[in-house]
A and B are shown apart, each in its own frame.
Chain A
């Protein structure tokens, strides 16, 4: 340190023009006229050299006494803070130059470090100027302790403008946040791809297997058997159902794919919601009856004409409601009720599909509308499920600018609600 000082001093004396040197000495000479102490004078002239050197390098420089009050600040630092020499020197504590967060940071981290190891390096702080403007800086400081006389201890610090570095760090920070978000999205899409693979393998292989079996039975059927026609009919029914199931799986996958790729667009046209709802409920009445479930439609209108003409996408609306109704019947215990309500007002329509099933657990509620999610509920009539139905509903409803959610209490059934606002 001493070596550096001497080197610094001799270097500066050589390269500072005589008049500049004299000028930067003036404040110190005038401030020490009261005392003839040679030590103080030496320290002050050293300070003058530092001021000059650091000004040339555009580095803020300050020193402070053991009471933390600023003893000296160079003009670069005065310019950055907006304080005059008179306002800062002899008046303010060095840490008062920083933003309030920086001050607390100084008290809780920097001061302890200085007291313990006598230096700090690369501390990121913000200068809070007189005009409240903030300048990001890096602080490097060194505490010279006087063990005999504590009041003679002093602190020297330099501040480097870190605006560019801080802007760069902000970019790095944002990039990190973006990368983390992307990684999370990739993780999710990888999970979905695995689930897709499972679904395709499981949902298409099993029915194919069953279809193959049906064909084998048909081939081996003995035509002279008295019951042949009846047996053939039974096997044909199974095969037919199996093909239907495969078709449904493929159609669901296709719908999902089309929605995700943006290949289908909402085409809004005036539709009679009453007619649509009646046809959806009619479609599932016999399915519900097979499980002794009462499927009921309840339409309430509020100052809206009887057929409830609404500007919306007919196919999206129909498929959304169909998925909800078919789900309700699929997961309802036998002998229960499923109520479908349509409530229309001038501003919005609301469809509620309410069942009396076991309800949806908090755990399931979180992933309810996700893709390929496996929930704890099981179909009550041995039906099959692709795990896509609700995610398709969500995508379609959102494409119609509506929203869909579920209200449920475990043990008390669940109600799925679709709300569509009036088209602009």
Chain B
């Protein structure tokens, strides 16, 4: 491949997904945010691994500071489109031995990426994963089809006041200096049409058949009382994923990396030491 062409492709991918790389270790960790917000979600967890890993953060197309113009409804009508982006990011920065950490829907996106290109990855961490959110026959996903409509209504109501020029910085938050002013209230906002489409794709996805195809060692971080991914779903993922470990956390809700970063960091660290970096 022509050198300058490769360089321009790399730049295109890095800009498209607002990729941020820190550190220069042989070992890398790539964090994939879930539905709703952007890479800022990893603010309390990613720095803990900076000493030992190259840290790769990015925004899915349609979220955060990604290139909204790159949002292609066809490509992103299934989770594979997002998984392909992750593989392109890894290829662009020649990342290998990557520990890929995915939250919520990105746990499945990350899993798909490891299935497609196992040689890129050394391990998979799935934070609050669900291969299928909607109940289906004997399978209990936790949500019904009408619940998804209810969510779309909630999205609609909360985007009524949305305007494209409002996207960055709504108001300052002088009391909290650790937050850049540019973040305030903006990192959970995106174009309403994209948000609705991503919600539909996320909550109607069915990746149960992909779980047995995961080959890299994996960790499932399951929260207590998670309305989106209940305990039985975490257990289902564990049962159906070869070479997987399940940790049920004390943290409640669906965002332990925000509400209980210390517990999250400790669980990931232990998994890496025990299952990934332990010498035989």
Interface of A toward B, CB cutoff 8 Å: 67-68, 93, 95, 99-105, 107-109, 111-113, 115-119, 122-126, 136, 150, 166, 169, 172-173
Most buried by A among B43, B161, B252, B260: B252
Which residues does chain A contribute within 8 Å of B153, judged by CB atoms? 101
* Residues B179 and A117 in contact, CB atoms below 8 Å apart: yes
Min CB–CB distance A209 → chain B (angstroms): 51
Given contacts A99-B154, A116-B183, contact A109 B36 (CB under 8 A): yes
Bound complex: CA A415 to CA B276 (Å): 68
Which residues does chain A contribute within 8 Å of B53, judged by CB atoms? none
Min CB–CB distance A241 → chain B (angstroms): 53
Which residues does chain A contribute within 8 Å of B176, judged by CB atoms? 117-118
B270 CB-CB contact with A under 8 Å: no
Query: 1/0 per residue B230-263: CB within 8 Å of A?
Result: 0000000000000000000000111100111010
Given contacts A112-B41, A115-B258, contact A100 B188 (CB under 8 A): no
B154 touches which of A68, A101, A112, A122 (Cβ 8 Å): A101
Query: Which chain A residue lies CB-closest to B40?
Result: A116
* Residues B258 and A116 in contact, CB atoms below 8 Å apart: yes
* Residues B150 and A101 in contact, CB atoms below 8 Å apart: yes
Which residues does chain A contribute within 8 Å of B187, judged by CB atoms? 112, 116
* Residues B160 and A173 in contact, CB atoms below 8 Å apart: yes
Most buried by B among A101, A103, A109, A150: A101
Bound complex: CA A126 to CA B154 (Å): 8
Given contacts A117-B176, A124-B158, A124-B160, contact A111 B255 (CB under 8 A): yes
Query: Which chain A residue lies CB-closest to B170?
Result: A121
The residues in B between 140 and 154 inclusive whose CB is less than 8 angstroms from any CB of A are 143, 147-154
* Residues B157 and A107 in contact, CB atoms below 8 Å apart: no
Which residues does chain B contribute within 8 Å of A68, judged by CB atoms? 225, 252-253
A112 touches which of B143, B151, B188, B262 (Cβ 8 Å): B188
Interface of B toward A, CB cutoff 8 Å: 34-37, 40-41, 43-44, 104, 143, 147-155, 157-158, 160-161, 173, 176, 179, 183-185, 187-188, 225-228, 252-255, 258-260, 262
Which residues does chain B contribute within 8 Å of A109, judged by CB atoms? 36-37, 158, 188
Given contacts A104-B154, A117-B176, A124-B154, contact A112 B255 (CB under 8 A): yes
* Residues B255 and A115 in contact, CB atoms below 8 Å apart: yes
Query: Which chain A residue lies CB-closest to B161?
Result: A122
Bound complex: CA A67 to CA B148 (Å): 26
* Residues B37 and A117 in contact, CB atoms below 8 Å apart: no
* Residues B227 and A113 in contact, CB atoms below 8 Å apart: no
* Residues A100 and B150 in contact, CB atoms below 8 Å apart: yes
Bound complex: CA A38 to CA B83 (Å): 54
Which residues does chain B contribute within 8 Å of A117, judged by CB atoms? 173, 176, 179, 183-185
* Residues A107 and B160 in contact, CB atoms below 8 Å apart: no
Which residues does chain A contribute within 8 Å of B258, judged by CB atoms? 111-112, 115-116
Bound complex: CA A185 to CA B29 (Å): 54
* Residues B37 and A112 in contact, CB atoms below 8 Å apart: yes
Which residues does chain B contribute within 8 Å of A104, judged by CB atoms? 143, 147, 151, 154, 227-228
Between A and B, 19 residue pairs with Cβ closer than 8 Å are: A95-B227, A101-B148, A104-B227, A105-B151, A105-B158, A108-B36, A111-B255, A111-B259, A112-B37, A112-B255, A113-B185, A115-B255, A115-B259, A116-B183, A122-B161, A123-B158, A125-B157, A150-B262, A169-B160
* Residues A100 and B147 in contact, CB atoms below 8 Å apart: yes
Which residues does chain A contribute within 8 Å of B254, judged by CB atoms? 107-108, 111
* Residues A124 and B157 in contact, CB atoms below 8 Å apart: yes
Bound complex: CA A104 to CA B253 (Å): 10
Query: Which chain B residue lies CB-closest to A176?
Result: B160
Bound complex: CA A122 to CA B157 (Å): 11
Most buried by A among B41, B259, B260: B259
Query: Which chain A residue lies CB-closest to B144?
Result: A100
Bound complex: CA A126 to CA B152 (Å): 13
* Residues A100 and B252 in contact, CB atoms below 8 Å apart: no
8 smallest CB-CB distances across A and B, nearest first, come from A101-B150, A108-B36, A101-B151, A115-B258, A124-B157, A107-B254, A101-B154, A105-B154
Given contacts A99-B150, A100-B227, contact A105 B255 (CB under 8 A): no
Which residues does chain B contribute within 8 Å of A118, judged by CB atoms? 173, 176
Bound complex: CA A26 to CA B128 (Å): 41
A116 touches which of B155, B179, B262 (Cβ 8 Å): B179
Min CB–CB distance B51 → chain A (angstroms): 22
Query: Which chain A residue lies CB-closest to B258?
Result: A115
